[in-house]
């Protein structure tokens, strides 16, 4: 059973809560449990099981894809209040690709079980609308990243640039704006900013106002070799 | 102005037509035009313009992404009755990556202009639900393909296998099932079937019951080099 604090948390976090009728709200709360995961735990593999909708109570989750050789690509991260529909993908017939979710920190999450999720997805148009909107937004973001990696080699070009600059200045700290990097690489500021954010998510670098710090030069070097 | 035949076509093709009220139906029809494109015409580039929702009346469209060097990857194809929401992506804030649409044959299409699309997307939940569902499904499919290319190298492994087999038998026609290919490559039948379908879409091969015909061996060889 959820505590009153937990119930309030869910009511505030779920964007279309007001669009559920009283029965649906009860159904939602009665079929949601709290689960704890330790840092490093795999919460979900979508080829083997079906979990349901996740709301993050505390901690941090990471969603990723994995190659046969174990190479990972981070899709996105989820923090307190965020909602993840990927873990319910088994009942969203529109979603068919493989993904994983792991706890990046010790985390507590709410899980709405998959039968109830499925029921609400079928019967409440606002609920399904929210789920599809969430999925479209996440996928679009991921597709942008994959497009850059697959086509533009912006990841490699950026990695080469950062390593060269670091070698030249003999420092891991680079005082250079996204605008300047874009000019040097011959790309747009928007593309460079998004790729820098992606590098930060992957923990290769740390961004600060007016520059960046290379936190994992070896990983950047690996990028170039691929 | 649309002809009565055109109106009937739209009413039948648009999946949630019945969920629009009379005013919305009129708005839809009054703001839809027919446009003709010749084979090879670019109908849409999403970095430069906004078109609206497309319903294919006749012909065939192809959606694709393009690299800076002009390399293309086909996302999916659209034929009579199909609906494309990518061309309205400027008003779907969830969609942010770049894509193109071209006429692969001489085509006639209906275009619901972007202002009306936007209005219906905002005010009618069934309309937006259909749009997001369509987008989620297409993206999920595309992500699957990108994942295989990016991670698994299944495209390369399959290309190598097909070329080897073709050389061994000195024939472009291979009598081999998807199941058998999967076994040889060490993958699953489902993965191989989807990648073979992707190869067929790219016109590298033509599938038939119990086998396949290599129609562009040079393109398959190029795949291996990348």
DSSP secondary structure code for residue A59 in this structure: S
Residue B95 clears pLDDT 90, i.e. is over it: no
Q: How far is A117 from chain B (nearest CA, A)?
A: 16
pLDDT, residue A111, reads: 96
Residue A10 clears pLDDT 90, i.e. is over it: yes
Q: How far is B75 from chain A (nearest CA, A)?
A: 11
Q: Which residues pair with A77 in a beta bridge?
A: A62
Angle (nearest 5°) at CA B39 between B220 and B17: 105
Nearest CA in chain B to A68: B152
| Comparison of pLDDT for A65 and B67, the residue scoring more | A65
pLDDT, residue A151, reads: 66
pLDDT, residue A97, reads: 74
- How far is residue A161's CA from residue B139's CA, in Å, rounded to a whole number? 31
Contact A146 B143 (CB under 8 A): yes
Q: How far is A180 from chain B (nearest CA, A)?
A: 20
Can you tell me which residue has the tokens 């999916």? B76
How confident is the model over B90-109, as a mean pLDDT? Answer: 85
> What's this model's pTM, rounded to 2 decimal places?
0.74
- How far is residue A202's CA from residue A204's CA, in Å, rounded to a whole number? 6
Is the Cα dihedral A182, A186, A188, A194 positive or negative?
Answer: negative
Residues of B in contact with A98 (CB under 8 A): 144, 147
- Between B38-47, B56-65, B146-155, B175-184, the lowest mean confidence (pLDDT) is in B146-155
DSSP secondary structure code for residue A11 in this structure: H
Q: Which of A66, A97, A137 sits opposite B143 (nearest CB)?
A: A97
Is residue B176 less than 8 Å (CB to CB) from chain A? no
pLDDT, residue B91, reads: 77
Contact B151 A65 (CB under 8 A): yes
Contact A143 B147 (CB under 8 A): no
Contact B152 A67 (CB under 8 A): yes
Total beta-carbon pairs less than 8 A apart between chain A and chain B: 100
- Give the strands of the sheet with B211-214, arranged side by side: B173-174, B211-214, B205-208
Residues of A in contact with B149 (CB under 8 A): 150
Is residue A126 less than 8 Å (CB to CB) from chain B? yes
pLDDT, residue B45, reads: 85
- How far is residue A109's CA from residue A53's CA, in Å, rounded to a whole number? 10
Residue B36 clears pLDDT 70, i.e. is over it: yes
pLDDT, residue B89, reads: 83
pLDDT, residue B88, reads: 86
CA distances from A174 to A168, A215, A220 (A): 10, 11, 15
How confident is the model over B84-112, as a mean pLDDT? Answer: 87
* Backbone dihedral angles phi then psi of residue A187, each to the nearest 5 degrees: -130, -170
In contact, B39 and B105? CB cutoff 8 Å: yes
Residue B17 clears pLDDT 90, i.e. is over it: yes
- How far is residue A193's CA from residue A185's CA, in Å, rounded to a whole number? 12
Those residues whose C-beta lies under 8 Å from the C-beta of residue B38, and which sit 6 or more positions away, are B103, B106
Checking A25-30 for CB contacts under 8 A at 24+ apart, the result is: A27/A116, A27/A119, A27/A120, A28/A112, A28/A116, A28/A120, A29/A2
Residues of A in contact with B97 (CB under 8 A): 140, 143-144, 147
Contact B151 A67 (CB under 8 A): yes
For residue A204, which of A186, A224, A188 has the smallest C-alpha distance? A224
Q: Is the ipTM of this complex over 0.95?
A: no
Q: Which of B128, B133, B136 sits opposite A139 (nearest CB)?
A: B136
Q: pLDDT tens digits for A35-51?
A: 999 999 999 887 667 88
Q: How far is B169 from chain A (nearest CA, A)?
A: 30
Q: What is the CA radius of gyration of chain B?
A: 20
For residue A194, which of A149, A151, A135, A133 has the smallest C-alpha distance? A149
Q: pLDDT tens digits for A119-148?
A: 999 999 999 999 999 999 888 888 777 777
Is residue A92 less than 8 Å (CB to CB) from chain B? yes
pLDDT, residue A162, reads: 94
| Comparison of pLDDT for B95 and B108, the residue scoring more | B108
Q: How far is B139 from chain A (nearest CA, A)?
A: 7
* Backbone dihedral angles phi then psi of residue B18, each to the nearest 5 degrees: -65, -15
- Between A144-148, A171-175, B103-107, B152-156, the lowest mean confidence (pLDDT) is in A144-148
């Amino acid at each position: 059973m959820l505590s009153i604090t937990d119930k309030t948390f869910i009511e505030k976090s779920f964007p279309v809560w007001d669009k559920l009728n009283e029965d649906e709200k009860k159904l939602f709360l009665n079929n949601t449990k709290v689960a704890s995961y330790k840092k490093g735990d795999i919460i979900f593999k979508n080829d083997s099981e079906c979990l349901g909708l996740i709301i993050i109570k505390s901690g941090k989750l990471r969603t990723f894809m994995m190659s046969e050789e174990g190479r990972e690509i981070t899709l996105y991260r989820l923090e307190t209040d965020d909602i993840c529909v990927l873990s319910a993908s088994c009942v969203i017939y529109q979603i068919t690709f493989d993904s994983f979710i792991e706890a990046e920190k010790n985390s507590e999450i709410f899980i709405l079980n998959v039968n109830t999720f499925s029921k609400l997805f079928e019967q409440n148009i606002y609920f399904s609308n929210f789920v599809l909107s969430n999925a479209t937004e996440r996928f679009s973001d991921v597709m942008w990243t994959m497009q850059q990696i697959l086509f533009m080699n912006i990841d490699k070009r950026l990695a080469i640039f950062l390593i060269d600059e670091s070698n030249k200045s003999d420092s891991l700290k680079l005082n250079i704006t996204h605008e300047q990097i874009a000019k040097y690489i011959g790309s747009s500021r928007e593309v460079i900013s998004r790729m820098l954010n992606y590098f930060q998510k992957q923990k290769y670098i740390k961004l600060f106002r007016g520059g960046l710090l290379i936190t994992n030069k070896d990983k950047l070097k690996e990028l170039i070799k691929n």
